[in-house]
Amino acid sequence: MAQEASMFSANDLVAANHSSLAGGDLEVKELPLPLDFDWGAATAAYQIEGGASQDGKGKSIWDTYTHLEPSRTNGQNADVACDHYNLMPQDVELMSSLEMGVYRFSISWSRIIPLGGRDDPVNEQGIAFYSNLIDQLLARNIEPVVTLYHWDVPQALYDRYGALLNTDEFRADFERYARLCFSHFGDRVKKWVTFNEPYIIAIFGHLNGTLAPGHCAERGNNTKNEPWRVGHTLILSHASVVQIYASEFRPTQKGSISIVLNGHFYEPFDTSNPADVEAAETRMIFYIGWFGDTIFLGKDYPPEMREYLGARLPQFTEDERELLRRTAPINAFYGMNHYSTKYARALPDPPAEDDWTRNIEEGSVNSKGEEIGPASAMAWLRIAPEGFRKLMNWVWNRYRLPIIITENGCPCPGEDDVERAKDDSFRQRYIGLYLDAISRAIYEDGVKVQGYYVWSLMDNFEWSAGFGPRFGVVHVDYETLVRTPKNSAYYLRDTFKRRRTVVGSQKQAT
């Protein structure tokens, strides 16, 4: 989940949300989806597993980051979280009862290689946990979709060489880790994701410092260059692992591999101002094109980035360019994490020295004072399904890859109380509208969208916000660890039956 900084309080939002939605301006149409459209839920290891030092697990940078003083995570940590490590069979049974067809989860690198490195010992208990999880999913006809890296590099690699700041060292260690996962799980896992949200890893972890390892200028880090080095490392490490999978494992395992990119859609702050119109497109390129053009098109960084960033942006060697060209067509799908839409405004003032946006401001209100949509329990996350549809079109037109919505969802205000949390009509409205947008993209725009994984299966540790925002379709009592499905979980189950049944009836009629 891409964590953004500011939040409204639950009390402030309750009245606003109900009044915003009461007018009927956002109406769910229950539009059809293809019969073979996959749906399920997504999670990340650090956010749900707990078992922080259980059965030989090593520390990740998030284990360290959440224990810093003063706290950078709302005084909370995920040492226990949802205790999925110990309650996994119960959670799989819960997914089965909700008739989910897919479960996207991440592997904790430091759980299977505690020190992380290519010459470090393997933890067989960690491997056994994920192998058991995969077996239990398959026994209930739930497809496992596995992410290798969801923000939690082993702390030992950060201590040794700065982790993602050292491209050659990280790349070699990530290759070994990936090979280990392919070897142990690839006979049963048919969809792999290398990295989750490289933009967030680079910018939030190595520029504004709100996510681990917390690098920012105020702490003496070189934020002018670090994010671009981290992005470079992620791109080349992804390409290397894609090549390894294609040459060594895919011939027998018959699976597919790609990456997950997050992104807002951007509308101009003032549609009559050419600078704002250009700013909206530029923001898309700096956010998505940064990784998409190199990984999916096998090209150099977008020229707009080269022009603005100059020497801050690393160069690819000729061998690296050839690797990107060779591996680009191997990526089998575009993993899309999306939550909301923003306005982009070109700023007249000189940019900061470490500016990463080409001096563009983003926000939720345009020049006319109009909000992009009703706010959820986080200020930045607003209901804007038309922007979602435009984003799917933007990505399809640029990359021509089948899209899987690998994360989408929202938190509702007032969800600490389980009875109130169960009646999550705001979330149901959000999900319904975004599913409608997918249907329109498929049937009206010709975009190929193959699946939808709601974020998240259950309430969990929301990174720097701690246990505050609740994104789950299942409520978790963090004291008792009792899981209680919210109405949105049943809404998803039932709406997919209805939407796919409609398509089936239409096909039979034609």
| Cα–Cα distance, 510 to 506 (Å, whole number) | 6
Could you tell me the two tokens for 324? 């990107």
| Amino acid occupying residue 255 | G
**Quick check: is 407 catalytic?**
yes
Q: Which of 473, 375, 475, 392 is nearest to 431 (CA)?
A: 473
| Those residues with Cβ within 8 angstroms of residue 129's Cβ, 6 or more apart along the chain or in another chain | 55, 85, 88, 111
Question: Looking at the chain, how many residues does it have?
Answer: 510
DSSP designation for 458: S
Strands 334-337 and 360-363: unpaired
Q: Which of 49, 143, 169, 197 is catalytic?
A: 197
Q: Which of 143, 226, 407, 462 is catalytic?
A: 407
Report helix, strand or coil for 361: strand
- Compute the Cα dihedral for 243, 181, 67, 71 and give only its sign: positive
Q: b/e string for 89-101 if b means 16 or more Cβ within 10 A?
A: eebbebbbebbbb
Could you tell me the two tokens for 37? 């459209």
| Cα–Cα distance, 102 to 79 (Å, whole number) | 26
Report helix, strand or coil for 42: strand
The secondary structure of 139-153 as a DSSP string is: HTT-EEEEEEESS--
Report helix, strand or coil for 476: strand
End-to-end CA distance of the chain: 41
Could you tell me the two tokens for 478? 């963090």
Do 223 and 217 touch, CB atoms closer than 8 A? Answer: yes
| Those residues with Cβ within 8 angstroms of residue 399's Cβ, 6 or more apart along the chain or in another chain | 292, 296, 297, 334
| Cα–Cα distance, 415 to 15 (Å, whole number) | 14
Could you tell me the two tokens for 269? 């702050």
Could you tell me the two tokens for 196? 């989750």
Q: Is the peptide bond before 20 cis (omega within 30 degrees of 0)?
A: no
Instruction: Quickly list H helices, 328-422.
Output: 385-399, 418-422
**Quick check: is 419 catalytic?**
no
Chain centre distance of CA 464? 15
Catalytic residues, by residue number, are 197, 407
